[in-house]
Amino acid sequence: MELINCTLMIPVRTAIVSFIRLSIFILLSILLSPSFAQPPSSLPEPDKDLFVGTWKANADRSRPKLDEVEGSYVRTVSREGDDVVFSSRIKKPHSVGFTENRYKLHCDGSLHRVQCGSAFCKKSCLYVTATRVEGETVEPDGTTFYWADEVSSDGQEIRIYSYNDKARKKLKSIEVADRVK
């Protein structure tokens, strides 16, 4: 039986360990680099945020056309530092009065628990460009809605796109709203 010289195995073992360590370092460097991490939110300064303002639903320009209740929707967007504040008001169906809702949301692409009417839901948003914000809403029953808001180049109209899929390829509806403030 032939014996293997152990002194020859030590350099081979050292080389393998060094190669593994180098591979782990390279892999971690790639995975933690900014291009692989979630892109930072390109949240504009509050005074330059085109979404800030008060918007009133335009029933005739929306598709499908909004009914009387949906057409009463008014949304106000403001900023508190890096948080976007949403306030809304809509006529109550079959009664007198309005339903109002207000919540703050950090637009970092992550889901956050917010007040949705009388219950809590989860919402996310992310400024994709200065004129486009994308997000999703997870209702209390688990139903998920995908959406994108776009402000026109003149800043006087917002289009709220609702999608049936996360890839935002299957358009469900477009709600148009006009700037009132």
Domains of the chain: which residue ranges? Answer: 1-37, 46-179
pTM of the predicted model as reported, rounded to 2 decimal places:
0.74
Mapped onto helix, strand or coil, the DSSP state of residue 173 is strand
φ, ψ dihedrals at 173, nearest 5°: -160, 165
The structural architecture, per CATH, of the domain 46-179 is Beta Barrel (2.40)
Distance of CA 164 to the CA centre of its chain: 15
Tens of pLDDT, residue by residue, the chain (181 residues): 555 555 555 565 665 655 555 555 454 444 444 434 444 457 899 999 999 999 999 999 999 999 999 999 999 999 999 999 999 999 888 777 888 999 999 999 999 999 987 899 999 999 999 999 999 999 999 999 999 999 999 999 999 999 999 999 999 999 999 999 9
